[in-house]
Amino acid sequence: MTELIIKNGFVYDPLNQIDGEKMDICIRDGKIVKSVKDTADSIDASGKIVFPGGVDIHSHIAGGEVDTARLLRPEDHYKDVESKTSLTRSGVGFSIPSTFTTGYRYSKMGYTTVMNPSMAPLTARHTHEELSDTPMLDTATYPLLGDWWFSLEHIRDGLLKENAAHIAWMLKATKGYAIKVVNPGGLEAWGFGHNVHGLDDQVPNFGITPREIIRGLVKVNTMLNLPHSIHLHTNNLGQPGNYMTALETMKSVEDLAIENKPIMHVTHIQFCAFKGEDWKGFCSGAEEISNYVNNHNHVTLDVGQVVFSSTTTMTADGPFQYGLYHLTGNKWANHDVETETSGGIVPFRYKRSSAVHATQWSIGLEISLLIKDPYKILMTTDHPNGGPFTAYPEVMTWLISKSARDKMLAKINKRARKKSLLNTIDRELSLYELAIVTRAGQAKALGLKQKGHLGIGADADVAIFNINPEINDPAKEFEASKAAFRQTAYTIKGGEIVAKEGEIVKSIFGKTYWVDAKTSMPLQVNDDIKRKFKEYWTIEFDNYPLREGFLHSPSPVNVKAVI
Amino acid sequence: MITLIPKDNFKLPIEGKNVTPDIFIGKTVKEINALEMWEGNRKRTIGELFEVKDDGKSSEKFTIKIEGNINSVRNIGAEMSKGKIIVEGDVGMHLGEAMTGGSIVVSGNAGSWAGSRMKDGTIEIKGNAGDYIGAAYRGSTEGMKGGKIIIHGNAGHEVGCFMRGGIIKILGNVGIFAGIHMQNGTIFVQGVSQGRAGAQMKAGKIVLAGQSEDVLPTFTIEEIKAKVKVDGEKIEGPLYRFTGDMADNGKGKLFVAKEPNSYLSFYEKYLD
């Protein structure tokens, strides 16, 4: 029985309404408990802040696209090399680090749970192999089901119950955690060189619209009682004027909401909040999006904040990446996954001098600050699309400090600066709110009950930072805050000290969550399914599902479906 | 002047990035002997692999001389900013990679990637050189940005790949794809070119004074020049001047000598 007590820290635990109270946190066998014996190991956290371990709802850290990006970008690796130590493995990569390096770097920043948001079902094996090789973190991954043939057929034929049974089977077969939808209808169209441009465009060969796909999958999500809502990347992503599409998408499911519960997570909203008719007239749609979200409770968002840096863009949204390739002239990889989804990779550099990039930077922060309830807008960079996750400390200081924002604002493109709403926004997130957008809110949106808080029974994932709110003002001394967020004083994962003052002190492996939705009506495996797999897939139906034993340490989340 | 004499005929690859004037300056022979030098997967020191001598002449204190063949030693002079390195013999890959100043002279041959990513300074190779001279790192678009590379012998393939500035002069022959992806700067070849020069070039200048196997069909003829200037020197012609690579909407200049390439004469009918 291992015991640990964290003494005298300023504890921020929003899910239990604890706001900077000086208290002790007791840990036994990987869980938070009420008290421990006097013989327990102790950490002196006086003069430091204590947060729950960080949770990241959307970060591309594994799978087919990430690996294609690694192959495409040797030049991303050679400048950023980690040597092996007696405890850690070597690794490379700035915007697409290798698996071990990903785990270590997250851990040093106090993160303990990271969700991989995009997995073509066919690449589930590969993705789980990589997640099993990503240390220090609990993980999960979302299969792409927005353009899944059987789903599209079921929705077309109005067979929602059958669709729910099928998706429950798919989550089990791919060991997935949530329904990921990317440019619904667009990826199927991209298989034929086309795209869809709005909620009411026809999807070729299926005769349905993105609106029907989204509504169908939201209903299925509710039927299955899944812990997370559907995780949606909207149509028209990255196109000027697309804030209208984002608003319409959120409106399209208003009537499906039950008791103010979120039923849709719109991811990297910054990329869907572009106003203006073309790139010349490009401006921010942050105000419209924020107003809508402030008045509705059925959506949660994450930001997809842009940071000025060299990075690698990757999404399952193949047609968008093709457009980006033409826009930038950079190299491009198209990642087509048989009948299932598409994908694309383009290296990218966000420049302060570019009016568009600088406006994108501003949009992310505007939305983060204009939405009043921090549980609705979570901090991400859509790693690595807006910037690598290692830029989180910088993003965090922009959120808590107007001076930090002003410092960057003074350095960006003049036209973008003039138009930026940041000039008029004085809000600075408190440490309590910061704990929500980086941990509590993320865990809540994901339905991970044992994460994101420090209440009795929670997983003992804790991040202790060298910030003393009694003496220092983290907003005024934002450089010191940034340095503190870069490396924790202690990162505790599952009750063990794993990182200390920016050094990994213990290498461990986390769990991989997947959702086992129990339906009373299981999937009817008929000849049609088997025939389609035989004709169109490279893997036969019987070999398609992943055994649980394939995962390093699987952790099923059992839910009871209402069908 | 510091002199290094290899103690052995090295078989394993050796990492020589510590052999630069920038690192040697102000160090005694003892300190230089203690500098790290990986041999294969073993951590060694310069002293274990080389005999180090200092002749004490302060006028040449920024000069390093290597006596003997060191084909398996890489990264000699990498990132150097001043001083001089003289190699009396052959040298391995990545010579003077990313250097920002100073000069390197090699009496024998040099391996591939010499002068890749270099920003300034000069490299002179009396023998032959390998592939990717003055090129960018794999996957990157940032090749040589400035400085000068002179090769008295032959050079390999993809010389000046993604080159952004500076001059590469090859007095012997060159392999295929000289100046591929070139964005600026100058490449001069006196001998035979194996062809496909300037593929996907955006800008910059390539002068082929000798025979060339081909001119890519995505280059268009502009004029016949009597002579062309390279690095302040006049190269006597006549030479055909092409623009390309049109496949990439490029505006690069490709000069090909008329005399040794009589098969190009059919281009002349498009000149009026």
Per residue in B162-197, pLDDT (tens digit) is 999 999 999 999 999 999 999 999 999 999 999 999
Report the distance separating Cα A465 and Cα B204, nearest Å. Answer: 53
**Are A181 and A232 within 8 A, CB to CB?**
yes
Partners of residue A75 in chain B, C-beta under 8 Å: 136-140
| Cβ count within 10 A of residue B124 | 17
The answer for B 123-142 residues in CB contact with A (under 8 A) is 136-140
Residues of A with CB below 8 A from B138's CB?
A: 74-75
Token duo for residue B73 = 């030693």
Q: What residues form DSSP beta bridges with A527?
A: none
pLDDT in tens, A375-384: 999 999 999 9
Residue A78: list chain B partners with CB under 8 A: 137
What's A458's DSSP letter? S
Mean pLDDT of A284-307: 97
Residues paired with residue A512 on neighbouring β-strands, in sequence order: A139, A554
pLDDT at B272 over 80: no
Question: Any idea which residue has 């029907």 for tokens?
Answer: A212
Whole-complex ipTM: 0.84
How far CA B48 is from CA of A531, B20, B64, B247, in Å, comes to 68, 18, 18, 53
DSSP A422: G
What pLDDT does A484 receive? Answer: 97
Question: How is chain B split into domains, by residue range?
Answer: 109-270
CA distances from B127 to A460, A493, B80, B121, B173 (A): 65, 59, 22, 19, 12
A74 Cα to chain B: minimum distance (Å): 6
CA distance B52 to B5: 7
Q: Distance between CA atoms of B133 and B116, rounded to whole angstroms?
A: 6
Whether A40 is in a domain gets the answer: yes
The CATH number that applies at residue A17 is: 2.30.40.10
Residue A1 in this model has a pLDDT that exceeds 70: no
B-chain residue closest to A74, CA distance: B139
CA distances from A298 to A57, A256, A301 (A): 17, 9, 10
Q: Is residue A425 part of a domain?
A: no
Secondary structure (H, E, C), chain B: CEEEEECCCCCCCEECCCCCHHHHCCCCHHHHHCCEEEECCEEEEHHHHEEEEECCCHHHCCEEEEECCECCEECCCCCCCCCEEEEECCECCCCCCCCCCCEEEECCCECCCCCCCCCCCEEEECCCECCCCCCCCCCCCCCCCCCEEEECCCECCCCCCCCCCCEEEECCCECCCCCCCCCCCEEEECCCECCCCCCCCCCCEEEECCCECCCCCCCEEEEEEEEEEECCEEEEEEEEEEEECHHHCCCEEEEEECCCCHHHHHHHHHCC
| A155 inside domain | no
Search chain B and give the residue with CA nearest A70.
B139
Q: Is A193 helix (H, G, I), strand (E, B) or coil?
A: coil
The DSSP string of A329-388 is ----EE--BTTTB--EEEEEE--TT-HHHHHHHHHHHHHHHHSS-GGGEE---TTTTSS-
**pTM listed for this prediction:** 0.93
Report pLDDT for B50: 96
Q: How far is A431 from chain B (nearest CA, A)?
A: 41
Work out the average pLDDT over A67-72: 95
Shortest Cα–Cα distance, B204 to chain A (Å): 19
Shortest alpha-carbon distance between residue B168 and chain A (Å): 23
- Domains of chain A: total: 1
Q: Are A240 and A199 in contact (CB under 8 A)?
A: no
Which chain A residues touch B if contact means CB-CB below 8 Å? 72-76, 78
Asked, as a colleague might, if the bond just before A121 is cis with ω within 30 of 0, I would say no
Chain B neighbors of A74, CB-CB under 8 A: 137-140
Q: Which residue of A has its CA nearest to B142?
A: A75
Dihedral sign computed on CA atoms, order A320, A321, A324, A326: negative
E-assigned strand segments in A40-110: 41-44, 49-52, 54-56, 81-82, 91-92
Q: Is residue A104 one of the residues assigned to a domain? A: no
Least CA distance to B137: which residue of chain A?
A75
Interface test with B, best of A68, A73, A75 (most B CBs within 10 A): A75
Closest residue in chain A to residue B136, using alpha carbons only: A75
Average pLDDT, chain B: 95
Contact across the interface for B137 and A74, Cβ inside 8 Å = yes
CB contact under 8 A, A76 and B138: no
Chain A residue closest in CA terms to B140: A75
Distance from CA of A70 to the nearest CA of B (A): 11
**Apex B124 CA angle, B119 and B125, nearest 5:** 125
Residues in chain A closer than 8 A to B137 (CB atoms): 74-75, 78
Contact (CB<8Å) B137/A75: yes
Q: Which residues pair with A7 in a beta bridge?
A: A44
Q: What is the pLDDT of residue A490?
A: 98
Cβ contact, residue pair A76, B137, below 8 Å: no
Distance from CA of A73 to the nearest CA of B (A): 6
pLDDT tens for A197-223 read 999 999 999 999 999 999 999 999 999
Q: Say whether pLDDT at B59 is over 80.
A: no
| Cβ pair A450, A113 in contact under 8 A | no
Helix or strand (DSSP H, E) at A441: helix A441-446
- The pLDDT assigned to A26 comes to 97
Element (H, E) at A327: helix A318-328
Residue at B134: amino acid letter = G
Q: How far apart are CA A415 and CA A406, in angstroms?
A: 15
Which stretches within A473-521 are classed as H helix? 478-486
**Distance (Å, whole) CA A438 – CA A433:** 9
Residues of B in Cβ contact (< 8 Å) with A73: 139
Task: Write out pLDDT tens, residues B201-221.
Answer: 999 999 999 999 999 999 999
Contacts of A547 (CB under 8 A, 6+ apart): none
Over range A168-177, report the average pLDDT. Answer: 96
Best of B138, B142, B161, B183 to disrupt the A interface by mutation (most A CBs within 10 Å)?
B138
Q: How many CB pairs under 8 A join A and B?
A: 13
A72 to chain B: which residues are within 8 Å by CB?
A: 139
Determine whether the interchain pair B138/A75 forms a contact, defined as Cβ–Cβ distance below 8 Å: yes
Chain A contact present for B269, CB below 8 A: no
- CB of A247 closer than 8 Å to CB of A292: yes
A interface test, pick of B140, B161, B248 with most A CB neighbours within 10 Å: B140
DSSP class of residue A271 equals G
Q: What is the mean pLDDT of chain A?
A: 95
Identify the domain containing residue A27 by its residue range.
3-52+458-504
Contacts of B8 (CB under 8 A, 6+ apart): B49
Backbone angles phi, psi at A560, to 5 degrees: -105, 120
Distance from CA of B140 to the nearest CA of A (A): 5
Residue B194 CA to residue B170 CA, distance in Å, equals: 13
Q: Give the minimum alpha-carbon distance from B138 to chain A in angstroms, rounded to a whole number.
A: 6
Rounded to the nearest angstrom, the minimum Cα separation between B153 and chain A is 30
Task: Give residue-wise pLDDT tens across range A402-449.
Answer: 999 999 999 999 999 999 999 999 999 999 999 999 999 999 999 999
Q: Which residues of chain A have a CB within 8 Å of the CB of B136? A: 75
A319 within domain boundaries = no
For an interface test with A, which of B97, B116, B137, B248 has the most A Cβ atoms less than 10 Å from its Cβ?
Answer: B137
Q: Which residues of A touch B140 (CB under 8 A)?
A: 74-75
d(CA B69, CA B62): 22
In this structure, is residue A308 part of a structural domain? no
State the smallest CA–CA distance between residue A67 and chain B in angstroms: 15
- CA-nearest of A132, A121, A172, A131 to A558 is A172
- The contacts found for B216-220 with CB under 8 angstroms, 24 or more apart, are B216/B244, B216/B245, B218/B244, B218/B245, B218/B246, B218/B247, B219/B243, B219/B244, B219/B245, B219/B246, B219/B254, B220/B244, B220/B246, B220/B270
Q: Is residue B56 predicted with pLDDT exceeding 90?
A: no
